[in-house]
Amino acid sequence: MAIYLLRACFRLFAAGLLVSGLCFSTEPARGTQKPGAATVLVFLDTECPVSQQYTRPLATLHRQYAARGVRFQSIFPSATDDRTAVAAFNRTYALPFAGQPDPGRVRVRQYRATVTPEAVLLDVRGIIVYQGAIDDWFVALGRHRREPTQHYLRDALNALLDGRPVATTRREPVGCRIQQ
């Protein structure tokens, strides 16, 4: 079944009918990733307090993994988040990687993102190997732990880069709902 799905995704991608990252792999990601092969997309909102609070952990992840060839990019789907607002957000919160507005929510639909912040980890083929919460710091809106106890994105990055299966491929994110 998994092979059939992957072949179907490949055929659609090769025919130009599939945008990279839309298919989920049903098999664990295997094989050591080449430098620059993994990409982390993070959906953020300049006015979302949860997005604002996650900028420091995201900057730390970027610092730890950029040297291993992981690319980071933030996507801002709110209609009020234009280039100026995104640049101001990056300056204010010292976010060390590029951000881009998604006013038409094209990337929201492409990756089926529902909340900010929400992380999407893509392997070398552009296949989603993890999507969801960055960690378990927030348990609900307005409620968070002192420190996270589970680091979902970090664990997925380590597994992918070390050539091990990604154990957890999806965790429900907690944050501000993306308006569709």
pLDDT tens digits for range 32-88: 444 457 999 999 999 999 999 999 999 999 999 999 999 999 999 999 999 999 999
Residues spanned by the domain of 39: 19-177
**Residue 40 belongs to a domain with what CATH number?**
3.40.30.10
- Give the count of domains, the chain: 1
Residue 143 confidence (pLDDT): 80
> With 60 as the cut, is the pLDDT of residue 117 above it?
yes
**57 lies in a domain?**
yes
Residue of 154, 55, 57 lying closest to 95 (CA atoms): 55
Strands 170-171 and 128-132: parallel
**162 lies in a domain?**
yes
Average pLDDT value for residue range 114-131: 96
Which of the two residues, 48 and 146, has the higher pLDDT score?
A: 48
139 bridge partner residues: none
> With 80 as the cut, is the pLDDT of residue 7 above it?
no
- Report the amino acid identity of residue 145: R
**34 lies in a domain?**
yes
**How far from the centroid of its chain's Cα atoms is residue 154's Cα?**
11
**43 lies in a domain?**
yes
Determine the Cα–Cα distance for residues 49 and 124; give it in Å rounded to an integer: 32
Residue 30 confidence (pLDDT): 42
> With 50 as the cut, is the pLDDT of residue 155 above it?
yes
Average pLDDT value for residue range 141-170: 92
> With 50 as the cut, is the pLDDT of residue 27 above it?
no
**4 lies in a domain?**
no
> With 50 as the cut, is the pLDDT of residue 133 above it?
yes
Residue of 123, 102, 126 lying closest to 43 (CA atoms): 102
Structure pTM? 0.80
